[in-house]
Chains A and B, each alone.
Chain A
Amino acid sequence: EPEVTQTPSHQVTQMGQEVILRCVPISNHLYFYWYRQILGQKVEFLVSFYNNEISEKSEIFDDQFSVERPDGSNFTLKIRSTKLEDSAMYFCASRDGTGGTDTQYFGPGTRLTVL
C-alpha cells in the first residue's frame, strides 16, 4: 500500500540554524500538507500546497517557514532560523485531490529538537 515517507525521523539542531524536513508524498497525489504537534498538544495545521504554490497557511506559518516541491517526488519544509519553540513532531500529509471526499494520509513524522 502506498504511503507517505518522511526523513529524517529525528533531527537535532542548534537554535538559529536552518533545517529542512523532507517528505515523499504518495505518488499521483496533488495536495500536500505540513502539520506539527508540540509535545502533549494538538496536531496543528501549518500549510497546504497545490499546483506548486501555497494554497493555505496558518498563522504559525510565518516568514521563518517555507515549503518547496523541488522535483516530482519530494516536498520539503524549511525553517530558516530555528527557535526553541519549534521543537515538535512535524507531519507531512497528502491527498489525491480528485474529489471532495478524498482522504489525507499522513507520514510517520520527523521529531525536531532545537537546543
Chain B
Amino acid sequence: NAGVTQTPKFQVLKTGQSMTLQCAQDMNHNSMYWYRQDPGMGLRLIYYSASEGTTDKGEVPNGYNVSRLNKREFSLRLESAAPSQTSVYFCASRSDRGIGEQFFGPGTRLTVL
C-alpha cells in the first residue's frame, strides 16, 4: 500500500515549456486534490476532483489544467510554464470514511527558469 505517489520528484523547465505532473493513489478514494506550496504562503488549492469524471477550480487555477484519468490517477498539466509557477506541488486524496482525512504525496519540486 503506497498511499499517494507523485512523479517526478524534481523538474526544471524553461519558460514556455509544458509538462504534466502525475499523481496516483491506491486507497480507493473518490476525492483528489492538487496544491502548490510557496514559502510563507502555505498550501493553496489549484484544482480538485470530487469523483472520477469531475474536476473543479480551486483558489489558484490559472495556468493549469487537470485530468482525472480514472479513480486512481489525477494529473496536473502546465501548458506554458512561467517563472511564477516555480513551487512545490502536492497531490492529496481524501478518505470517504468518517470525517475524511486527507493523505498527501511526497511532492514535486518544480523550477521554471
To the question of whether A and B form a pair in one complex, the answer is: no
